[in-house]
Structure 1
């Protein structure tokens, strides 16, 4: 926007997502379907674009074809205004090696920064579910004069080992310590059972980021990671500030979904986040017309219910044909549920077919899975454990096109 500082968005989307197998067996984690019609990468891109960050590079690496295609075909910006969202595959610009870590990914892509010459760089992760207005974080960053501002959210101290943990100084904003996945971090003053977890979203002053990347590249002991290397370095130099995500207010938000952010890095977290979508007053509301979520709409007819088919407390995408019974589930485009079939508490990706009289309960089925007539998933735990991936909480997951015996 004219009159505002120049900001380049860099989205880190090269993650393998091993904990989300088998959904990531054939694609990068940011390309995994979420909420019926979306990909995980759509959530960060929607926030950046809604927040007037309109020049964005998506750094990809692991099994990136599906992700590259989605970004290229969906995220078309105005070339007249010089805006773009572009996938940037690993290019081996610094030698015959792939990215060593998230910091190295940006180091190897500094040509993007040199070409754009932004005042600030927003480095955001690509695999979380949330809404955020990045302008508010940018304004704090500029006002504070920090070298880097890191977005943090309060989580239980018992969950600290899954995140980078930010210890704020007595002023509440300067970062005193940054610990990557600590097992026993200090609690917050006034809230000893909580810590600030890094959301993986950072805003850098350009010169500070470039300098830090070059210093990190020269350190043979570094893991070349944003949370494991750059943030501790900049914290020690007194250049890091905390942005409290709870202070971020998005137009059109509700009291229930204010401050919603989920790391869906495991099957259980992925499944539970879907349950947040389907209540009458959802914890995370997909329908916010003032801060929309964007994706490719597809060319499919509206969902159709016939032969007594019903769906309750569910999300049913275009192209679905429901002849059976669907409850508390999320259905992606093109799903068919035949007569007498029952789908309960499940997440079905594109073009899943549930045959006549089949039962699917508490499951996540990737695209093109064909459940034969009379087959059951989620009915016999012992059989399910022998045939499929089962999470710690008992969520059953089938990979893309996985065979289901009749």
Structure 2
């Protein structure tokens, strides 16, 4: 069994902290980046993991694989910007052809944080012996509007709507998929089908949920449901919520904190200096300085200097002075 971890996006919704940093390599706690929460499970279950990324971040992922000693290799997508990106499905199709992948296949978005065990998902997949998608009740209609929503008969997907304007439920498809070896051909069949239609390529080759939307009508496709938590770390809210659930706040021992009020879900990284600061629901990257300021619901990148400011719902880029 092989795994593909999708890490080719430019994460514009998290700019500027992701302008020169791949989103899956953002820290989630002191010890490891987001992607490592995925790969530490996969290493036990698959023969090899392929990290599919763009040329800009390929070296960073290669450094990650070496540092964390993961059973993975990095493959570069042929694109330089978000505008030139082949689409998520397009990237998978290109990778399957380029690497001549002929094996059971797991596909995972590299910015997913979830509470289920990969081994439980794969046991479910082997039992069903068909394509499978992980689903999770997001319990929020606005979130459901931004993802695929499924309808089930038992464990089988009987309806699927990608990004519905009026979600019929909040049971959402998340970017974790399985295709047995004899169903990997669905990717090419899907592309060939839509080539015969007037649907624009940048639409049908984009979100991987659109493949499930089509595939469940071609062959029995199953849903693995779980309780617990799931975060798509694609927005500041998602990143902060992931920290709150997975990390639960921390002040690095190498940080200097004086005359400051530290509220809930605050993560202060090494080398930071806080004096007369009030911090709530925020992440402060290394070697930043916050003096006589209030910071709420924000992400402060490294080596920033904030003095006498009121910062709320903000993403502050590195080396910023306020």
| Shorter-chain TM band | 0.7 to 0.9
Alignment of 1:59-74 (within 5 A): 59-61=52-54, 63-64=56-57, 67-74=60-67
Give the Cα–Cα distance (whole angstroms) in 2 for the partners of residues 352 and 53 of structure 1.
40
Establish whether residue 352 from structure 1 lines up as the match of residue 288 from structure 2. yes
Pair 1:74–1:132, CA change in 2 (3 A): farther
Aligned residues: 307
Name the SS of the counterpart of 1:156 in structure 2.
coil
Residues 99/138 of structure 1: CA separation in 2 closer, same or farther (3 Å cut): same
- Whose Rg is larger? 1
- Call closer, same or farther: CA 1:351–1:66 in 2, change over 3 Å: farther
Q: Does 1:155 align with 2:138?
A: yes
In the other structure, the counterpart of 1:261 is: 230
Q: Which whole-Å CA distance do the structure 2 matches of 1:105 and 1:264 have between them?
A: 20
Aligned equivalents of 1:37, 1:99: Cα separation in 2: 31
Q: Distance in 1 between matches of 2:259 and 2:55?
A: 38
Are residues 1:244 and 2:225 paired? yes
Distance 1:350 1:54, change over 3 A: farther
Partner of 1:107: 93
What TM-score results when the alignment is normalised by the length of structure 1? 0.68
Q: Assess, with a 3 A threshold, how the Cα gap between structure 1 residues 335 and 38 changes in structure 2: closer, same or farther.
A: farther
Q: Do the aligned partners of 1:36 and 1:331 also contact (CA within 8 Å) in 2?
A: no
Structure 2 distance, partners of 1:318, 1:54, is 38
Q: Residue 265 of structure 1: SS of its match in structure 2?
A: coil
SS at match of 1:34: coil
In structure 2, C-alpha distance between the alignment counterparts of 1:42 and 1:377, rounded to whole Å: 34
Write the distance in 2 (CA, Å) between the matches of 1:34 and 1:179: 31
| TM-score normalized by the length of structure 2 | 0.85
> Cα RMSD between the aligned structures?
2.6
Instruction: State the 1:40 CA deviation.
Output: 2.1
Q: Is the 8 A contact 1:71 1:86 kept in 2?
A: no
Over 3 Å counting, the alpha-carbon distance change for 1:23 and 1:343 in structure 2 is same
Q: Name 2:156's counterpart in structure 1.
A: 174
Unaligned runs of 5+ in 2: none
Report deviation, 1:103. Answer: 1.2
Partner of 2:38: 44
Gaps of 5+ in 1: 1-6, 78-83, 188-194, 247-258, 277-283, 287-312, 379-393
CA distance in 1, matches of 2:89, 2:295: 41
CA distance in 2, matches of 1:226, 1:334: 39
Alignment of 1:328-367 (within 5 A): 328=263, 329-337=266-274, 340-345=275-280, 346-354=282-290, 357-362=291-296, 363-367=298-302
Distance 1:260 1:176, change over 3 A: same
> Structure 1 stretches (4+) deviating beyond 4 angstroms?
none
Work out the CA distance in 2 between the residues paired with 1:367 and 1:69: 22
Superposed displacement of residue 30, structure 1: 1.6
1:121 and 2:102 aligned: no
